[in-house]
Homo-oligomer: A and B are copies of this chain.
Amino acid sequence: MNARFLLAAALLSAPALGQTDNPAAPSPGEIVATAPANAWVDIAPDDLLVMDLAPGAWEQPGRVVIQLMAPPFSQPWVANIRTLAKAHWWDSLAIVRAQDNYVVQWGDPDAEDAGKARPLPATMAATSEDEYARTGAGFLERNGGAGGAALRDILVPRNDVSQFQTFHGGFPVMAHATPDSVSAWPVHCYGTVGVGRGMSPDAGSGAELYTVIGHAPRHLDRNIAVVGRVIEGVEHLSTLPRGTEALGFYKTPQERTPITSIRLGSEVAGLPGYQYLSTESQTFARYADARANRRDPFFIVPAGGADLCNIPVPTRRAPGRD
């Protein structure tokens, strides 16, 4: 917890962690490359979703690896995604939409056609927009007031802001402070995976998913469930030809990229281990500070701050275990 507060403080007004006078300051990548082993957190195989795509423009199969959202966020949808993956529900379905600077989306192309739609498993959890639409009663408050109070003490008075960016369990989140509480919600960045839905009160089941392939569409925050992020192979989605129908949907079935399979990591033979850089670690705090204030030789003017989507949480294949 303390490390997170330090990080957020660094992000917000950046005492430079001793680096300002160092003309050869390391780049963010160098900081990550030299992180101690204990700064890396193993991602449990059941927190990984592995999507294998049929051969595409590169004429080789594409694999996309997704880290599922950490509790307490979006858990009804995450539960459904695990149910669907275990049922092999997505197999032979397709990527149905690619809209430039926005999202790539996949699921059942016949979902809107009751006669042809693939039935959902019977054990799907109910979902509700209340889970993401509300802004109060967020997890920091629910998990006890101490964290919220500390956040307010450290961050809020400094600039009199009531809304700020931080990280939780490897994911970027926004937090909102009031005199009585601190709440938080996950946000949309490049590579974020979210749950497609129709008009309210439909909140989506998790069967229709999308990945952000452009500038962070932050207006979707709190309006759609964020369920994970791509940690490997996003280029297999971001390079797909854009659909020419409204919202980037493909015009013909032939344009869609077929999904070979989607599985939980625990069901994929030979899958490497994956890790993320602990967002509570000192290394992450240094990395975030360096992203916000580039001092490596190429740069002339440090920005003095960074949007949290410009501080992607580093991930890697666990060394020595491939």
Contact = CB atoms under 8 A, between A and B. Distances in A.
B215 A163 contact: no
A222 B285 CA distance: 24
Interface in A211-235: 213-219, 221-223, 234-235
A297 to B, nearest CB: 6
A239 interface: yes
B199 A298 contact: yes
Given A5-B163, A297-B199, A299-B223, A215 B216 contact: yes
A185 to B, nearest CB: 9
B1 A219 contact: no
Interface string A86-105: 00000000000000110000
A152 interface: no
A130 B25 CA distance: 22
A291 interface: yes
B300 A133 contact: yes
A115 to B, nearest CB: 26
A190 B101 contact: yes
Interface string A166-186: 000000000000000000000
Interface string A194-222: 00000110000000000001111111011
Interface string A298-312: 111111111101100
The number of times this chain is found in the oligomer is 2
Given A161-B2, A190-B101, A200-B300, A215 B218 contact: no
Nearest to A56: B57
A240 B241 CA distance: 9
A298 B223 contact: yes
Contact of A1 (B1, B299, B304): B304
A184 B10 CA distance: 22
Contact of A301 (B133, B164, B291, B292): B133
Interface of A: 1-6, 11-13, 57-58, 100-101, 129, 133, 135, 159, 161, 163-165, 189-191, 199-200, 213-219, 221-223, 234-235, 238-242, 291-292, 294, 297-307, 309-310
Given A219-B303, A307-B307, 13 more contacts: A2-B305, A5-B163, A101-B238, A190-B214, A190-B215, A199-B298, A200-B298, A214-B214, A214-B238, A218-B307, A219-B302, A221-B303, A223-B298
10 contacts: A1-B292, A57-B57, A57-B241, A189-B215, A200-B297, A216-B310, A219-B299, A219-B303, A223-B301, A239-B240
**Closest 8 pairs (CB-CB, A-B):** A1-B305, A222-B301, A190-B215, A133-B300, A57-B57, A100-B235, A235-B242, A101-B190
